[in-house]
Amino acid sequence: MKIVDAKVVLTGPGRNFVTLKVETDEGVTGLGDATLNGRELAVVGYLRDHVVPLLLGSDPHRIEDTWQFLYRGAYWRRGPVTMAAIAAVDTALWDIKAKVANLPLYQLLGGASRDRVRTYGHASGRNLPELFDSIRARLAEGYPAIRVQTGVPGLKLVYGVRHAQDPGLGARPVVEDWDTGAYLRNLPRVFDAVRQEFGPDLPLLHDAHHRLTPSQAARLGKDLEPYDLFWLEDCTPAENQEALRLVRAHTTTPLAIGEVFNTVFDYQTLVSEQLIDYVRSAVTHFGGVSPMRKLFDFAAQYQIKSAIHGPEDISPVGMAAAIHLDLAIHNFGIQEYSGHTDLTNAVFRHAYTFTDGHLHPGEAPGLGVELDEELAAAHPYEPAYLPVNRLQDGTVHDW
């Protein structure tokens, strides 16, 4: 079997996605997600100009060898653009192998370790009444666990959620404002109110989006202990693994980290010193299904569980790959799931289902996703950026 073509499909059905479609001489095709929110075109160029020409003529069954060839062969290792590109190739080759075997991908990963995959959804509001409505809406949709984000008194926007783009800005990022002191004073009150309203049993999560110093994160973890969080996510900037030592020493609030990581090296200290409870990488940004499987096996030795990143900027192709892994691995924790719009689901028709707050990858061979290339072409890419964040004196802060 030979790879005869590989197309990079860039589409914007409401938001932008980058998809690799690998074609073989036997007519079997495979899909991989390479979406890098706000930097999509860099991955398109990397794939189209430097990866696709190298794939032509090679054997699609040699997944591990192809991964090593692209990773080691580039000489310039790691980084989000490189690893998103490699992820798309790896995922597409797994899709092909599973289709040839006529099995859903999870069967090639060892088969199902559970019947279904539990998820968490996002709730947010500028104030408590809005937040409560948002939590009720997620509960009505069936979500068994909820990520809680709120506005901070005195600040303009709720961070970590998509804002309507001011048309005057064009493709420029929205600028958010930030005050760590106000946030640290406000958040325990918010969780106190949420617990009073929704009771002790509902699993609650929170994402601090890399905004805190180690001592601020340690204090927040302690202040939130009475509210029994499922986790506190990305409490300090991701680059410095050692920072988590101080946080860990001061709080029993479970910690999750890693959505911006792109190789296992970003986790070495965090996992081997057992400084976190959940690894958050996405198939799409971590080099594909193969390295994710290795990460989960590494984490399993330290009682650390999976929590694959699943925002809307992971395409249904990346989501499907995640759900197959979730079903198969032993140390599954939880799956973030925001769902996609009807239009996105029409561009990427998928076999996975969301029922009673739980996902299942379906039984279609491969990933179980089909790309409607005509519909994709009818919705072209439009430049869009994530927000940036400034302190009230104008200094750029972590987002």
Return the active site residues. Answer: 159, 209
Taking CB within 5 to 8 Å according to partner kind, which of Co ion, ligand EZ4, none is near residue 33? Answer: none
Residue 37 vs 251, nearer CB to ligand EZ4 = 37
Stretch that binds ligand EZ4, among 104-112, 195-203, 308-316, 324-332 (CB under 6 A): 308-316
Q: How far is residue 8's CA from residue 18's CA, in Å, rounded to a whole number?
A: 7
Site for Co ion in 256-295 (CB under 5 A): 259
| Site for Co ion contains 313 (CB under 5 A) | no
Place of tokens 């005509």: 374
Site string for ligand EZ4, 228-267 (x = CB under 6 A): -------------------------------x--------
Cα dihedral angle (361, 365, 371, 374), rounded to 10 degrees? -140
Q: How far is residue 228's CA from residue 249's CA, in Å, rounded to a whole number?
A: 17
Beta-bridge partners for 126: none
Name the residue with the smallest CB distance to Co ion.
207
Residue 124 vs 180, nearer CB to ligand EZ4 = 124
Residue 21 vs 309, nearer CB to ligand EZ4 = 309
Site string for ligand EZ4, 151-170 (x = CB under 6 A): ---------x----------
Q: How far is residue 216's CA from residue 213's CA, in Å, rounded to a whole number?
A: 5
Burial of residue 89 (CB within 10 Å: 0-12, 13-18, 19+) is: buried
Taking CB within 5 to 8 Å according to partner kind, which of ligand EZ4, Co ion, none is near residue 326? Answer: none
Stretch that binds ligand EZ4, among 125-133, 176-184, 239-247, 309-317 (CB under 6 A): 309-317
Q: How far is residue 110's CA from residue 105's CA, in Å, rounded to a whole number?
A: 9
| Site for ligand EZ4 contains 207 (CB under 6 A) | yes
- Let me know: does 372 contact 347? Beta carbons within 8 Å: yes
> What sign has the CA pseudo-torsion 77, 23, 342, 167?
positive
- What crossing angle do the helices spanning 289-300 and 63-73 adopt, rounded to 10°? 90
Site for ligand EZ4 in 367-386 (CB under 6 A): 386
Number of H helices, E strands in the chain: 14, 18
| Site for ligand EZ4 contains 311 (CB under 6 A) | yes
- Strands of the sheet containing 396-397, edge to edge, are 175-178, 388-391, 396-397
Output the smallest distance, CB 143 to Co ion, in A. Answer: 16
Site string for ligand EZ4, 75-114 (x = CB under 6 A): ----------------------------------------
Q: Residue 387: which region, alpha, beta or left (left: phi > 0; alpha: psi -120 to 50)?
A: beta
Which residues contribute to the site for ligand EZ4 (CB under 6 A)?
37, 160, 207, 259, 309, 311, 313, 336, 386
Which residues contribute to the site for Co ion (CB under 5 A)?
207, 259
